[in-house]
């Protein structure tokens, strides 16, 4: 069969598949970026020996346990503490001075995965004397990673890299002061959890739940198509206070926005006009 015809049929299969799992299970991946979601579906389909996505669709519809496996495979949860150190350095330099004028600071970190980004911000705010009056709402679609985030434990294997990131991000203390070693893990200092609320929230379907001074959503929008990105930008716009700050991932940009301006373009930090 001609490759372009095969691709065309496969696109129909992917779209029907996404519609089917939405209607049967409520998982809404219909507006995720096509190439990436296609690859993730195939990754799971191969495990069941399905030879087409239509065949895999039949299996997933009749076996809810396959839907769980698929949802896990679709969710890419890679994260780090102080990931892209210059982003956190910019928060210190450009955002903290603005936040210092607020009596209470409300921050939403969405797509927070297992919490490394959230605890990084908590440490930064603590060092800047802002954590006490900050409320961080950390959300993700994936319950399993949220459970890990709530624990506040991290594999010891990563700590060398995270220490490097912390120092590059302008960290001012001994990083090891923020955790205790417990076998193969480290347990983050409990005070870091005090002002964080972890909760499930789906950017594709859920609404806003507060007004925030800062929203951080990094390395999530790369998985969405333009339609869904637009929905999410609108949601962020409505959820930010006037002059609120939006931080995105290094590969994510707001193109030709009339409602946000660059605050630090190279670090993907924007301000609501």
Ligand X SMILES: C[S@@+](CC[C@H](N)C(=O)[O-])C[C@H]1O[C@@H](n2cnc3c(N)ncnc32)[C@H](O)[C@@H]1O
Question: By CB under 6 A, is residue 75 in contact with ligand X?
Answer: yes
Q: How far apart, in whole angstroms, are the C-alpha atoms of residue 216 and residue 136? A: 10
- Min separation Cβ 140 and ligand X, Å: 5
By CB under 6 A, the residues from 1 to 60 that bind ligand X are: none
Q: How far apart, in whole angstroms, are the C-alpha atoms of residue 79 and residue 173? A: 22
- Min separation Cβ 254 and ligand X, Å: 17
Q: How far apart, in whole angstroms, are the C-alpha atoms of residue 222 and residue 203? A: 13
**Would you say 50 or 219 has its CB closer to ligand X?**
219
**Would you say 53 or 112 has its CB closer to ligand X?**
112
* Residue pair 125/134 in contact by the 8 Å Cβ criterion: yes
Among 13, 57, 111, 239, interactor with ligand X by CB under 6 A: 111
- Min separation Cβ 119 and ligand X, Å: 11
β 212-217/240-248 pair status: parallel
Q: Which stretch binds ligand X (CB under 6 A): 89-97, 124-132, 134-142, 258-266?
A: 134-142
By CB under 6 A, the residues from 201 to 260 that bind ligand X are: 202-204, 218-220, 223, 249
Question: By CB under 6 A, is residue 159 in contact with ligand X?
Answer: no
Among 20, 76, 235, 254, interactor with ligand X by CB under 6 A: 76
**Would you say 50 or 203 has its CB closer to ligand X?**
203
Question: By CB under 6 A, is residue 83 in contact with ligand X?
Answer: yes
Q: How far apart, in whole angstroms, are the C-alpha atoms of residue 40 and residue 212? A: 33
Among 57, 90, 120, 142, interactor with ligand X by CB under 6 A: 142
- Min separation Cβ 149 and ligand X, Å: 9
- Min separation Cβ 6 and ligand X, Å: 28
Q: How far apart, in whole angstroms, are the C-alpha atoms of residue 156 and residue 164? A: 14
| Those residues with Cβ within 8 angstroms of residue 150's Cβ, 6 or more apart along the chain or in another chain | 115, 193, 198
- Min separation Cβ 240 and ligand X, Å: 17
Other CB atoms within 10 Å distance of the CB of residue 124: 23
Q: Which stretch binds ligand X (CB under 6 A): 50-58, 119-127, 139-147, 166-174?
A: 139-147
**Would you say 14 or 203 has its CB closer to ligand X?**
203
Instruction: Kindly list the residues in this chain that would bind ligand X in the complex (CB under 6 A).
Output: 75-80, 83, 110-113, 117, 140-142, 145, 202-204, 218-220, 223, 249
């Amino acid at each position: 069969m001609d490759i372009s015809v095969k691709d065309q049929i496969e696109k129909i299969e992917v779209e029907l598949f996404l519609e089917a799992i939405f209607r049967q299970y409520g998982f809404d991946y219909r507006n995720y970026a096509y190439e990436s979601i296609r690859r993730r579906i195939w990754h799971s389909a191969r495990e069941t020996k399905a030879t087409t996505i239509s065949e895999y669709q039949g299996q997933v519809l009749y076996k809810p346990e396959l839907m769980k496996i698929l949802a896990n495979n679709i969710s890419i949860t890679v994260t780090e503490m102080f990931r892209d150190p210059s982003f956190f350095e910019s928060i210190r330099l450009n955002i903290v001075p603005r936040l210092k004028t607020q009596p209470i600071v409300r921050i939403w970190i969405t797509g927070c995965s297992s919490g490394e980004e959230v605890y990084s911000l908590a440490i930064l705010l603590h060092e800047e004397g802002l954590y006490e009056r900050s409320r961080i709402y950390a959300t993700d679609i994936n319950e399993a990673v949220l459970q890990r985030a709530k624990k506040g434990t991290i594999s010891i294997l990563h700590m060398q890299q995270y220490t490097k990131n912390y120092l590059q991000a302008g960290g001012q203390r001994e990083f090891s002061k923020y955790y205790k070693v417990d076998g193969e893990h480290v347990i983050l200092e409990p005070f870091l959890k005090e002002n964080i609320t972890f909760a499930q929230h789906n950017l594709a379907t859920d609404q806003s739940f507060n007004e925030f001074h800062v929203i951080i959503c990094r390395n999530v929008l790369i998985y969405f198509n333009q339609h869904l990105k637009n929905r999410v930008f609108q949601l962020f716009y409505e959820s930010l206070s006037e002059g609120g700050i939006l931080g995105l991932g290094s590969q994510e940009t707001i193109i030709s926005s009339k409602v946000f301006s660059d605050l630090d373009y190279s670090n993907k930090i924007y301000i609501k006009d």
